Amino acid sequence: MTVLPPIRPARDADSEPLAALIAACFAEYPDCHFLWEEFPELRRPASAFAAKGGQLWVVDAPGGGIAGSLGVTPVAEQNAVELTKLYADPAFRGTGLAQALFAEALAFAEAGGFADIMLWSDTRFARGHRFYEKLGFRRWPGERYLADVSASWEIHFRKPLRGAA
């Protein structure tokens, strides 16, 4: 059994290591590129999520850097929270790290009385899609084009929450 490093709230000082994690994950896919200009929230990640009423969590990698991350932001007009910045270093995939991060987001959503958790995911991230479906997410109608450097198309996933107000 793998002992996971503790999950902690992100700090603004996590900017560089968080960007490095995301860039490394993007590099696993053809024509998927990380540009700072497309992620201004990463300059001060904790502040950016807090300003939207959300939370960003990270797990420090034992040798330095960040092993995983997950953010959640309320989307009041949909009575939902949106998951973003769900990334795991390849060395930590399959260890329960992403499930532990998701449990933080689920607790946040349930405490807020939200009806759904939703997310958008790049069409290239098939491994992530299988993970989301394993957690009970279902593909939702609609796609969106980001017009970013990677020419990303994203698909929508949602998970209803039991006992939501």
Q: What is the pLDDT of residues 6-26, one digit of tens each?
A: 999 999 999 999 999 999 999
Is 99 a domain residue? yes
**Non-local CB neighbours of 61 within 8 Å, separated by 6+ positions:** 5, 67, 89, 91, 92
Q: Is the pTM of this model over 0.85?
A: yes
Is 32 a domain residue? yes
Is 2 a domain residue? no
State the Cα–Cα distance between residues 146 and 95, nearest whole angstrom.
31
Question: How many domains does the chain contain in total?
Answer: 1
Is 34 a domain residue? yes
Is 111 a domain residue? yes
Work out the percent of the chain whose per-residue pLDDT is above 70. Answer: 97
Q: Which tens digit of pLDDT belongs to each residue from 123-163? A: 999 888 999 999 999 999 889 889 899 999 999 999 999 75
Q: Which tens digit of pLDDT belongs to each residue from 67-100? A: 999 999 999 999 999 999 999 999 998 899 999 9
CATH number for the domain that contains residue 78: 3.40.630.30
Is 98 a domain residue? yes
Query: What is the residue range of 50's domain?
Result: 7-160
